[in-house]
């Protein structure tokens, strides 16, 4: 059985007040909720504050982050290391988000390097993949997802996917309100799992595959009812404690 993981990607949003209100609200909303791992990825500057608020709420929330660099220390101005994130208790680290692939020119190979770097440092990659609207319309979704995953498998072996999270996020569904249907998402999730199973069935069976892209309290349950959708990576709706908690509760109830 795969335990669902619902993670909030706060992207470039936050202030001390906002982080405090959001996590205080989540600490309350998640009281007594079991059967789901709930994680948040604040901007790096707020990871410290988030760690303290999560601890004050009884550690019901897993702390994550939105990126890592490829070195743990040294002359790399402006970088932020996996070891530093670990120092603040962050464990679930998003890599390969389409916004970083697009705005920072991160290649499949570069993302695969980050994947290995996180694993080497004992952190859990939340490895984002997904196709653009044009690729979707051209019927290339499965090929694009397979290529993005193969960058990790070819460089580090299929076992690298043990204990990792894959987040399938169709780019056209991110922040657009135009979510994939649950049936379409399930079909792609199943194809991703089948692709990994060709290399190793046991690895494919255990890997968490989240759906991301306009997940809201209104549509969350329809995704979690699908056999290959093991949680969600949530953007906009994760900035509101009630909405995000409702999504987490839907996962806990469905699985
Ligand atoms: P939205 O939920 O705002 O569509 O964002 C999804 C996302 O990019 C999460 O990483």
Q: Tell me what pLDDT residue 191 has.
A: 98
- Residue 63 — pLDDT band, cuts 50, 70, 90? very high
What φ, ψ does residue 93 adopt, rounded to 5°? Answer: -115, 120
Q: How far apart are CA 231 and CA 210, in angstroms?
A: 5
- The tens digit of pLDDT for each residue in 199-253 reads 999 999 999 999 999 999 999 999 999 999 999 999 999 999 999 999 999 999 9
Q: Tally the residues of the chain.
A: 255
Q: Which of 67, 128, 215 to mutate to test the pocket of ligand 1 (most atoms within 8 A of CB)?
A: 215
Q: Tell me what pLDDT residue 166 has.
A: 98
159 labelled catalytic: no
Residue 167's DSSP bridge partners are 128, 210
For residue 225, what are its two tokens? 């009812």
Q: Tell me what pLDDT residue 190 has.
A: 98
- Work out the end-to-end distance of the chain between its first and last CA atoms, rounded to an integer number of angstroms: 9
Please give the distance, rounded to the nearest whole angstrom, from the Cα atom of residue 158 to the centre of ligand 1.
Answer: 27
Residue 11 CA: nearest ligand 1 atom is 10
Q: How far apart are CA 152 and CA 204, in angstroms?
A: 14
- The tens digit of pLDDT for each residue in 175-213 reads 999 999 999 999 999 999 999 999 999 999 999 999 999
Is 0.85 surpassed by the pTM of this model?
yes
Please give the distance, rounded to the nearest whole angstrom, from the Cα atom of residue 241 to the centre of ligand 1.
Answer: 16
Evaluate if residue 255 carries a pLDDT over 80.
no
97 labelled catalytic: yes
174 lines ligand 1 (CB under 6 A): yes
H/E run at residue 226: none
Q: Tell me what pLDDT residue 128 has.
A: 98
- Residue 56 — pLDDT band, cuts 50, 70, 90? very high
Q: Tell me what pLDDT residue 250 has.
A: 98
Rg (CA), the chain: 17
Please give the distance, rounded to the nearest whole angstrom, from the Cα atom of residue 146 to the centre of ligand 1.
Answer: 21
40 lines ligand 1 (CB under 6 A): no
> Which residues, in sequence order, are CB contacts of 28 under 8 Å at separation 6+?
241
229 lines ligand 1 (CB under 6 A): no
What percentage of the chain exceeds 90 in pLDDT?
99
Please give the distance, rounded to the nearest whole angstrom, from the Cα atom of residue 9 to the centre of ligand 1.
Answer: 7
What percentage of the chain exceeds 70 in pLDDT?
100
Domain 5-254 of CATH type 3.30.420.40: no
Q: Tell me what pLDDT residue 1 has.
A: 81
- In b/e form, how buried is each residue of 46-75, taking b as 16+ CB within 10 angstroms? bbebbbebbeebeebbbbbbbbbeeebeee
Evaluate if residue 141 carries a pLDDT over 90.
yes
- The tens digit of pLDDT for each residue in 27-55 reads 999 999 999 999 999 999 999 999 999 99
Q: How far apart are CA 8 and CA 6, in angstroms?
A: 7
Domain boundaries along the sequence of the chain: 5-254
* 237 SS3 class: helix
* 8 Å CB contact between 131 and 174: no
212 lines ligand 1 (CB under 6 A): yes
63 lines ligand 1 (CB under 6 A): no
Please give the distance, rounded to the nearest whole angstrom, from the Cα atom of residue 172 to the centre of ligand 1.
Answer: 10
Q: Tell me what pLDDT residue 231 has.
A: 98
> Which residues, in sequence order, are CB contacts of 48 under 8 Å at separation 6+?
88
Residue 213 CA: nearest ligand 1 atom is 4
- Catalytic hit among 92, 97, 106, 131: 97
């Amino acid at each position: 059985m795969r335990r669902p993981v619902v993670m909030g990607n706060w992207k470039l949003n936050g202030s001390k007040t906002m982080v405090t209100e959001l996590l205080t609200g989540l600490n309350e909303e998640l009281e007594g909720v079991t059967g789901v791992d709930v994680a948040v990825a604040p901007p790096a500057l707020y990871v410290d504050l988030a760690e303290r608020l999560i601890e004050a709420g009884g550690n019901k929330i897993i702390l994550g982050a939105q990126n890592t660099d490829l070195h743990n220390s040294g002359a790399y101005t402006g970088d932020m290391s996996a070891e530093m994130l670990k120092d603040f208790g962050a464990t679930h680290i998003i890599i390969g988000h389409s916004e970083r692939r697009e705005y920072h020119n991160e290649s499949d190979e570069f993302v695969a390097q980050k994947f290995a770097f996180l694993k080497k440092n004992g952190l859990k990659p939340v490895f984002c993949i997904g196709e653009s609207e044009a690729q979707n319309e051209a019927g290339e979704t499965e090929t694009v997802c397979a290529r993005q995953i193969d960058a990790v498998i070819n460089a580090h072996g299929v076992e690298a996917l043990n204990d990792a999270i894959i987040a399938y996020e169709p780019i056209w569904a991110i922040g657009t309100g135009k979510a994939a249907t649950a049936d379409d998402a399930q079909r792609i999730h199943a194809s991703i799992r089948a692709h990994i199973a060709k290399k190793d069935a046991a690895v494919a069976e255990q890997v968490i595959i989240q759906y991301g892209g306009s997940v809201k309290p209104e549509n969350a349950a329809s995704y979690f009812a699908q056999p290959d959708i093991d949680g969600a990576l949530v953007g906009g709706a994760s900035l509101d404690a009630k909405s995000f908690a409702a999504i987490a509760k839907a996962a806990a109830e469905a699985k």
